[in-house]
């Protein structure tokens, strides 16, 4: 894989030790790239001391080879993708970016109604009702991706590994292990199943990378 835009891969990526839609795309892209990097999973005990040293007081952040630090998961993910030639060329780039935009909207819909490991204890009857009323809207939104799939039905671009595709898979995977397991049987099921078998992604999900085992951030309905 050759670099695009003259971009280098981050030498270190730092995030909490959780499987979240924020960091999972970057973690998968790092492994897919095959480039050397250091991965750090931060514990909640470590976070108070680390927080004031980060670029924006938030995670993730990445240390770059030139000594600078980069914040914002979308920026970091695109930098990793560019360093490995995974932004896509021509139409594939356009498709990848469209996917990324659509998936940002998808995640807004999901995060507004689903419990996480941090909110489950306060997930009261009102929130459960909202979930029941709005979950169909999430599944309906997934239908918008179907016309974009290539004839094989398991990818959106020839490579199948553009930034937008990895970003979409990471968020769908969090949904599948959370409140939307039926995604695997829907229009994006073949896409998800193919992506799960990509060696770099498989390693991340199995906890076999420097990030270690990553507990689910998004969880099933209590």
- Nearest CA-CA partner of 111 in 131, 126, 140, 132: 131
Distance CA 167, CA 176 (A): 14
Nearest-Å Rg of the Cα atoms of the chain is 17
The pLDDT, as a whole number, for residue 1 is: 63
- The neighbour count for residue 215, using CB atoms within 10 Å, is 12
Q: Please identify every stretch of the chain with a pLDDT value under 50, giving residue numbers as ranges.
A: none
Residue 2's pLDDT is 81
């Amino acid at each position: 894989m050759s670099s695009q835009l003259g971009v280098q891969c981050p030498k270190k990526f730092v995030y909490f030790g959780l499987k979240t839609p924020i960091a999972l795309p970057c973690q998968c892209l790092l492994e897919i790239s095959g480039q050397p990097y250091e991965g750090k999973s931060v514990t909640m005990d470590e976070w108070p001391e680390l927080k004031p040293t980060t670029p924006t007081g938030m995670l993730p952040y990445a240390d770059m080879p030139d000594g600078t630090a980069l914040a914002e998961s979308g920026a970091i993910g695109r930098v990793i993708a560019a360093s490995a030639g995974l932004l896509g060329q021509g139409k594939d780039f356009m498709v990848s970016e469209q996917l990324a935009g659509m998936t940002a909207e998808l995640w807004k819909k999901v995060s507004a109604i689903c419990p996480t490991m941090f909110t489950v204890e306060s997930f009261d009857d009102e929130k459960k009702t909202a979930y029941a009323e709005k979950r169909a809207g999430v599944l309906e939104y997934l239908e918008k991706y179907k016309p974009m799939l290539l004839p094989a039905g398991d990818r959106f671009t020839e490579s199948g590994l553009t930034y937008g595709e990895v970003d979409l898979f990471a968020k769908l995977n969090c949904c599948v292990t959370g409140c939307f397991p039926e995604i695997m049987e829907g229009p994006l099921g073949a896409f998800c199943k193919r992506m799960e078998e990509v060696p770099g992604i498989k390693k991340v999900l199995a906890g076999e990378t420097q990030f270690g085992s990553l507990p689910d951030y998004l969880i099933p309905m209590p």
